[in-house]
Amino acid sequence: MRLRPIRVVPGSAAIVAVMAVAVVFAFLAFTLSAKAKPDSDEARYLNPREMVLSPDGHRLYVMCEGSDEVRIVDASSGKVLQVVAVGHMPRGISLSPDGRQIYVANSWVDTLSVIDASSLKVVRTLATGFEPNSVVSDREGKTLYVANRLSSDISVIDLESGQETKRLLAGRGASYLALSADGKLLYCTHVYPRIGAHRTPPESEVTVIDTDRQRVIERKPLHNVGGVFHIALSADGKLGVAPQLRPKNLVPLAHVEHGWAFGDSLALFGEDVGGGVVQVPIDELDRYFAMPYAVAITPDKSKLYVSSSGADSITVIDIPKMLSYVHAASGPIANDLSASANYVVTRIPVGRNPKGLLLSGDGKRLYVANRLDDSISVIDTNNDVVVSSIDLGGKQDMTPLRRGERIFYTARFAFQGQFSCANCHIDATFDGLQWDLEPDGFGVDIVDNRSIEDLSGTEPFKWNGGNPNMATECGPRTEKYFYRSQSYNSAELADLVSYVMALPLRPNRYRLPAGELTPAQERGKAIFERKTNKFGKAIAESNQCAYCHSGPKYTNQKLADVGTGKKTDRSPLVDVPQLTNVAYSGPYLHDGSARSMEEIWTIFNPKDTHGFTNDLTKDELNDLIEYLRTL
């Protein structure tokens, strides 16, 4: 067969060229869009975090934080029946009272996915506050309550209209909710302590909401408490339990050998313990059970289970013994690590980074979500042993990032298993605390904990800029000084560094959807970038905001003396911090002495050494802050 020669007509070369370019663009577009989509199920780690059980007990709904989905699992066979895609970074899951709907809080996109439990399809998407972390329906199934971690409040959503009807003020980092058995009260806990006076013990709270009036009616104070995680109520409503961290951030971290880093404990409240809150330790004198996360109380109130997510185990507590000990105690017992021997029954080893706990309706089975194993441990609560494990699927081969993530969340490298990276960087963020890290005396060189998102290009690390790279930051400094161990090998350190440096930036909620700025933000941007003051005089380059806070992360990666050093600081020079997502990481300045962004300039910049700002009016300063919140 003879091929017909292509006849070239005038101008056809151009057409061919255009078509070729179009094909290339189409190919590129296809390739990019394919990359932009989430990896396939098999290619992603699941990171199961929370679970709920269908009313008939046949199906487990497992919320997978890493793969943005809910996996439906046959509770008997352990087989994954179906996968439902939800929003990005889901953190909370719950059922409607009739079990017909599944609610999922999508923390990075500020939405709820409502899944029809029959069709297993997302039937509605509802708006929430900033970073919804958990969701609970009222008993009537008419109202949803959503704990918003970044906006530190609770959204009240009318289910019929789908509209948020009000916001209730919670504590900082509102994250976990639990409804009382009678449905009258809703309890909320918080992962960050309140921003209080500088160098004072951390304070948190349990926020109590009257669901009839939809109002906060009480705030149970939690003294000396930083992060608080899940919360559970006994079936009779007489006992409330919340796992929590007691940071010892006011004394130098050099005293790890004295147990002065973190205490892992429970906050108890309710009729069973009298009127107030009683804190009881779950650690032992020479062994810690780091990052207590979830709690489950058996229906008969005989036992409670706590997942220690940094210790890869479940702590089992005899409730009557614990209450007897509490009632017999003559004073506070939160720091008495010998106390736990009186009520801790056993520790059950499970998978890596155990998070959510779920008791079956009859209390005979306890399900444990092993976040970094992509599995579920099933525990027979009669004998308190793991009787089976459910493999949820997901990516099977190990990557450096996965290995690094496991190192980040485990406390096994620390002396006596006291803490992990995730203790101070809760869910890979920060803890809202200021630490006395160095062994240079009490109260010397206080440093505010910084966010660790999107760190590439922000070196050096530490507030004094002493660590040129993450390997130095995470390596000898962390393992030898913080952890008081020499446990990492070079491969493990490389994995950890890979993981930390890959932590993404959370979405900024202050930018308008299309990225444009509001008028106030525009005015603030002009102030941030200005080179002359309001009197027309030039501002020294080193005193312009955008000089030090330059580049894509808003840091020139150098040291600067901005006049905020204290007498207790060994050097006035501080690392210029990146400003990405600066809105979320208060308090501010190297030592956290500025409780708000305003105080950086209204209190701590009297001589215009931290930028030329004293010519600004109050509304101009507000504009500057509005702009900074968009970075």
Partner 1 sequence: MKRAWALLLFVLMSVAAYAATPDMPRFRFENFTTANGLPDNHVFTVLVDGDRVWAGTENGLALYEAGKWKVFTTADGLAHRAVLSLALDKSTGDLWVGTMGGLSHISAGRIDTYTQLNSGLSNDVVYGVGVQGDYVWTATAAGASRLNTRTGEWSLYNERNAPMGEIWAYAVSTGADKVYYAVWGGGVLEYTLATGRWKDYTDPDGENELVLFKDQGLIHKITTSVSYVDKVLWVATYFGDSHYDGRSWHNFMVKDSGLPSNFTNQVKGLDATRAWFCTDKGLAYYDGVNWAVYRPSLTNGKPEMYVRDAAGAITPIVVETAPAHNYVLAVDLQGDDIWVATAKGLSHGIRQK
Q: Smallest distance from the beta carbon of 52 to partner 1, in angstroms?
A: 29
- For residues 177 and 211, what is the distance between their CA atoms, to the nearest angstrom? 13
Number of residues counted as binding partner 1 (CB under 8 A): 33
Q: Contact with partner 1 (CB under 8 A): which of 116, 158, 384, 598?
A: 598
Q: How many C-beta neighbours within 10 Å does residue 202 have?
A: 24
Q: Considering only 388-396, 413-421, 457-465, 596-604, which stretch makes contact with partner 1 by CB under 8 A?
A: 596-604
Binders of partner 1 among residues 111 to 140 (CB under 8 A) are 129
8 A C-beta contact, residue 482 and residue 260:
no
* Per-residue tokens: 129: 């506050």
Cis peptide before 587 (omega within 30 of 0): yes
Binding of residue 7 to partner 1 (CB under 8 A): no
| Minimum CB distance to partner 1 smaller for 542 or for 596 | 596
Binding of residue 546 to partner 1 (CB under 8 A): no
With residues binned 3-state (H G I as helix, E B as strand, rest as coil), the percentages for the chain, rounded to 5, are 20, 30, 50
Binders of partner 1 among residues 484 to 543 (CB under 8 A) are 509-510, 520
Binding of residue 236 to partner 1 (CB under 8 A): no
* Per-residue tokens: 587: 């308090």
Binding of residue 213 to partner 1 (CB under 8 A): yes
Q: Contact with partner 1 (CB under 8 A): which of 212, 218, 529, 615?
A: 218
Q: Contact with partner 1 (CB under 8 A): which of 58, 79, 215, 327?
A: 215
Q: Smallest distance from the beta carbon of 199 to partner 1, in angstroms?
A: 17
Cis peptide before 193 (omega within 30 of 0): no
Handedness of CA 605, 609, 615, 617 (dihedral sign): negative
Q: Smallest distance from the beta carbon of 217 to partner 1, in angstroms?
A: 6
Q: Contact with partner 1 (CB under 8 A): which of 115, 147, 206, 208?
A: 208
- For residues 66 and 38, what is the distance between their CA atoms, to the nearest angstrom? 10
Q: Smallest distance from the beta carbon of 298 to partner 1, in angstroms?
A: 31
- For residues 187 and 191, what is the distance between their CA atoms, to the nearest angstrom? 14
| Minimum CB distance to partner 1 smaller for 291 or for 579 | 579
What is the separation of C-alpha 150 from the centre of its chain, rounded to a whole number of angstroms? 10
- For residues 309 and 262, what is the distance between their CA atoms, to the nearest angstrom? 14
Q: Contact with partner 1 (CB under 8 A): which of 29, 217, 505, 512?
A: 217
Binding of residue 625 to partner 1 (CB under 8 A): yes
Binding of residue 618 to partner 1 (CB under 8 A): yes
Q: Smallest distance from the beta carbon of 312 to partner 1, in angstroms?
A: 37
3-state secondary structure at position 126? strand
Q: Contact with partner 1 (CB under 8 A): which of 384, 599, 608, 616?
A: 599
| Minimum CB distance to partner 1 smaller for 205 or for 575 | 205
State the Cα angle at 582 between 579 and 586, rounded to 5°: 135
Under DSSP, the state recorded for 119 is T
| Minimum CB distance to partner 1 smaller for 10 or for 515 | 515
Q: How far apart are the first and last CA of the chain?
A: 66
Burial of 251 (0-12, 13-18, 19+ CB in 10 A): middle
Beta strands in 76-192 (DSSP E): 80-85, 90-95, 101-106, 111-116, 121-127, 132-137, 143-148, 153-158, 163-169, 174-179, 185-190
| Minimum CB distance to partner 1 smaller for 93 or for 154 | 154
Binding of residue 596 to partner 1 (CB under 8 A): yes
Q: Considering only 208-216, 282-290, 368-376, 560-568, which stretch makes contact with partner 1 by CB under 8 A?
A: 208-216
Q: Considering only 118-126, 215-223, 338-346, 483-491, which stretch makes contact with partner 1 by CB under 8 A?
A: 215-223
| Minimum CB distance to partner 1 smaller for 281 or for 592 | 592
Buried b (16+ CB within 10 A) or exposed e, 116-127: ebeebebeeebe
Q: Smallest distance from the beta carbon of 577 to partner 1, in angstroms?
A: 20
| Minimum CB distance to partner 1 smaller for 335 or for 602 | 602
Q: Contact with partner 1 (CB under 8 A): which of 110, 131, 205, 283?
A: 205
8 A C-beta contact, residue 84 and residue 121:
yes
Q: Smallest distance from the beta carbon of 552 to partner 1, in angstroms?
A: 25
Q: Smallest distance from the beta carbon of 585 to partner 1, in angstroms?
A: 14
Q: Contact with partner 1 (CB under 8 A): which of 173, 626, 628, 630?
A: 626
State the Cα angle at 93 between 506 and 84, rounded to 5°: 85
3-state secondary structure at position 10? coil
Binders of partner 1 among residues 144 to 203 (CB under 8 A) are 151, 153, 165-169
Beta strands in 128-261 (DSSP E): 132-137, 143-148, 153-158, 163-169, 174-179, 185-190, 203-210, 215-223, 232-233, 240-247
Interaction site with partner 1 (CB under 8 A)? 129, 151, 153, 165-169, 205, 207-208, 213, 215-219, 509-510, 520, 595-596, 598-599, 602-603, 617-619, 621-622, 625-626
